[in-house]
């Protein structure tokens, strides 16, 4: 069924066992789990899938070594289990990541740490070598489940300097441990949506659909593209609106104060010298103010992050000039001889962590663990609302399963399957060894007669989900590369537009590809994409121009970058 048919279906049959509000990673993980159990479920997302907090993460798939000092052992244990599972279930999008901590002092933090741990001290203090060593031993212990990566190692000064010649002279040692990262979080979400819908014909996820009202036995949904409103009668509602949970509850006539979010921003930098110095692993370090910050190698760019600032409304989360200064300055903490200029910023993104509302003197102390808060039917409403509060990207599968179990119990619907060992999208039948990958690509070239280098690009970009894209491209009379981006072909853009619920040019450049994120956009490229997507979606000339305008507007207002005819994406703040 297409979008219109799905809406008509629900207008004719408005009774839905489960309605999920919010298509971020937690709503999507729950959707996937319920779909797998055969439950009829509808998910609505007010914007595009994975456009809220799920698009704003530091891209780390990790246990969260920092949470050990807050005593969040349950979370670290669960997150490390989930990290190891994601490495196996989504090997195309979740990759091992050596992570190096530069250490400036031997003993500091030793006396402060137990006090912090017991909640008697809130002051961030520098963490010395001994404390970090103890933390890493504990982290290795928790990571033992399905161990897929080596344990940590410490490097003395000489070895450290061989590896990082420009590192700060005060660094005494470095510690390297393994976590994982995900280059394409938004694509991983999209593949889970597609998997779930393929699995269960009664599972529907619609983007650009906002919950705007509720009460009694009704939930009012508005198509944010057409303005049309429709009503469903759910048996249970899952509020997975992340940082917007309280606003969604208010729309449902059940006001709450569950969320006390903090904003975090990241910069993407085009700086070949910094990129070389960062190397192939993340540098995870404590800044002067005690905050843990990072430099992540991101293809040929470097990602810098992040900040942690209390915020009242998630819609206000955009990069500020102070944050730019803070993040550019923090590079000096590790590489004092490297200067990053504002002109080298090609992209920025900000989002709000959906943290539980709690009184803590420092934002770093707010729990990063997740919980389910249920508002039982009552107060004039016939359905319960389960709010998914918190939740790391890394733990989305476990949180989705826990949410799903609550719903299944109430539906008296037994759990039929687990997602624990279930591959996601292009991670299915993924060839893991270099030989198997070569064979897979050889077979694609042979069966579809597509150029080997295109097959390789598509495999690296999509894993085994590349197969239908390869077939689509090969079936066209010709499939030229884009004039303004030679990493993409017409057929590829057309396929993604037709098959991945793409409605706007912004969906494609921000979330189905990394073009915006890597600072690869230019005005001619936007016009070229609007042309190809317009052919696929039936846009006339005025609509194509409007899509380009809207994308420029979003890049400026949400990501603080501008494109000019002479110059690609650059900071405009």
Q: Which residues bind ligand FAD (CB under 6 A)?
A: 21-27, 44-47, 51-54, 56-60, 62, 210-211, 240-244, 248, 251, 264, 306, 351-354, 388, 391-394
DSSP secondary structure of 325-358: HHHHHHHHHH-TT----GGGEEEEEEEEE-PBP-
Distances (CA, A) of 306 to 76, 112, 407, 497, 538: 20, 24, 35, 32, 40
Which residues touch 122 (CB under 8 Å, ≥6 apart)? 116, 360, 361, 362, 365
The dihedral over CA atoms of 520, 57, 316, 347, expressed in degrees to the nearest 10, equals -20
The residue with tokens 């789990």 is 33
Smaller CB separation from ligand FAD, 40 or 395: 395
21 versus 372: smaller Cβ distance to ligand FAD:
21
In the complex, least distance from residue 259 CB atom to ligand FAD, rounded to whole angstroms = 10
Q: How far is the CB of 85 from ligand FAD (least distance, A)?
A: 13
Strand 173-181 relative to strand 60-61, pairing: antiparallel
CB of residue 21 to ligand FAD, shortest distance in Å: 5
Token code pair at residue 323: 């944050």
In the complex with ligand FAD, the residue whose CB is nearer, 317 or 552, is: 317
CB of 127 to ligand FAD, least distance (A): 19
Nearest C-alpha neighbor of 187 from the set 301, 294, 79, 48: 48
Judged by beta carbon, residue 244 or residue 326, the one nearer ligand FAD is 244
Q: Which is nearer to ligand FAD, 130 or 311 (CB)?
A: 311
Q: Are 69 and 134 in contact (CB under 8 A)?
A: no
CB of 457 to ligand FAD, least distance (A): 26
In this chain, which residue has its C-beta nearest to ligand FAD? 24
Least Å distance between CB 13 and ligand FAD? 20
By DSSP bridging, strand 262-269 and strand 345-353 are antiparallel
Alpha carbons 300 and 116: distance in angstroms, whole number: 38
Q: Least CB distance from residue 139 to ligand FAD, whole Å? A: 15
Q: Are 369 and 388 in contact (CB under 8 A)?
A: no
Backbone angles phi, psi at 506, to 5 degrees: -60, -40
What 3-state DSSP class applies to 336? coil
Please say which residue, 97 or 129, places its beta carbon nearer to ligand FAD: 97
Nearer to ligand FAD, 188 or 473 (CB): 188
Minimum separation from the CB atom of position 509 to ligand FAD (A): 18
Question: Which is nearer to ligand FAD, 43 or 469 (by Cβ)?
Answer: 43
């Amino acid at each position: 069924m297409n979008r219109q048919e799905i809406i008509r279906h629900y207008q004719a049959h408005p009774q839905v066992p489960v309605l999920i509000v919010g298509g971020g990673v937690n709503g999507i993980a729950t959707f996937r789990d319920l779909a797998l159990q055969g439950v009829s479920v509808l998910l609505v997302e007010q914007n595009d899938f994975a456009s809220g907090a799920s698009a704003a993460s530091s891209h780390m798939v990790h246990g969260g070594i920092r949470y050990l000092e807050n005593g969040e052992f349950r979370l670290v244990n669960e997150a490390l289990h989930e990290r190891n599972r994601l490495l196996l279930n989504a090997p195309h999008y979740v990759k091992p990541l050596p992570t190096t901590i530069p250490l400036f002092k031997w003993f500091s933090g030793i006396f402060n740490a137990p006090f912090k741990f017991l909640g008697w001290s809130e002051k961030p203090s520098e963490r010395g070598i001994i404390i970090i060593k103890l933390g890493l031993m504990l982290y290795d212990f928790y990571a033992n489940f399905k161990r897929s990566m080596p344990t940590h190692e410490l490097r003395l000064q000489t070895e450290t300097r061989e590896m990082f010649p420009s590192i700060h002279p005060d660094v005494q040692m470095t510690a390297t441990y393994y976590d994982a990262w995900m280059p394409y979080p938004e694509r991983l979400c999209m593949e889970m949506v597609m998997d779930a819908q393929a699995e269960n014909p009664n599972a529907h996820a619609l983007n650009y659909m906002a919950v705007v009202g509720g009460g009694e036995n009704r939930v009012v949904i508005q198509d944010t593209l057409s303005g049309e409103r429709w009503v469903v009668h759910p048996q249970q509602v899952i509020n997975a609106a992340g940082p917007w949970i309280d606003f969604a509850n208010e729309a449902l006539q059940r006001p709450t104060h569950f969320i006390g979010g903090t904003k975090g921003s990241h910069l993407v930098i085009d700086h070949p010298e910094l990129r070389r110095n960062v190397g192939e692993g993340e540098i995870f370090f404590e800044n002067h103010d005690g905050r843990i910050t990072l430099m992540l190698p991101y293809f040929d760019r470097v990602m810098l992050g992040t900040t942690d600032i209390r915020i009242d409304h998630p819609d206000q989360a955009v990069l500020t000039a102070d944050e730019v200064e803070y993040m550019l300055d923090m590079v000096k903490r590790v590489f004092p001889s490297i200067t990053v200029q504002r002109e080298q910023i090609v992209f920025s993104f900000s989002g709000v962590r959906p943290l539980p509302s709690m009184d803590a003197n420092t934002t770093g102390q707010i729990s990063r663990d997740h919980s389910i808060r249920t508002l039982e039917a009552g107060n004039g409403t016939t359905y319960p609302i389960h709010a998914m509060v918190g939740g790391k990207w890394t733990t989305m599968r476990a949180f989705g399963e826990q949410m799903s179990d609550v719903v299944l119990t109430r539906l008296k619907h037994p759990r039929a399957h687990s997602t624990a060992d279930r591959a996601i999208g292009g991670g299915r039948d993924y060839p893991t060894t270099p030989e198997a990958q070569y064979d897979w690509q050889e077979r694609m070239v042979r069966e579809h007669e597509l150029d080997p280098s295109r097959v390789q690009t598509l495999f690296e970009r999509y894993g085994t989900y590349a197969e239908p894209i390869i077939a689509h491209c090969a079936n066209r009379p010709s499939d030229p590369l884009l004039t303004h981006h030679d990493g993409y072909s017409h057929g590829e853009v057309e396929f993604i537009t037709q098959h991945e619920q793409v409605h706007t040019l912004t969906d494609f450049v921000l979330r189905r590809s990394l073009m915006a994120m890597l600072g690869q956009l230019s005005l001619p490229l936007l016009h070229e994409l609007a042309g190809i997507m317009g052919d696929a979606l039936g846009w006339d000339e005025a609509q194509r121009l409007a899509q380009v305008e809207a994308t420029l507007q979003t890049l400026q207002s949400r990501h603080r970058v501008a494109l000019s005819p002479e110059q690609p994406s650059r900071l405009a703040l």
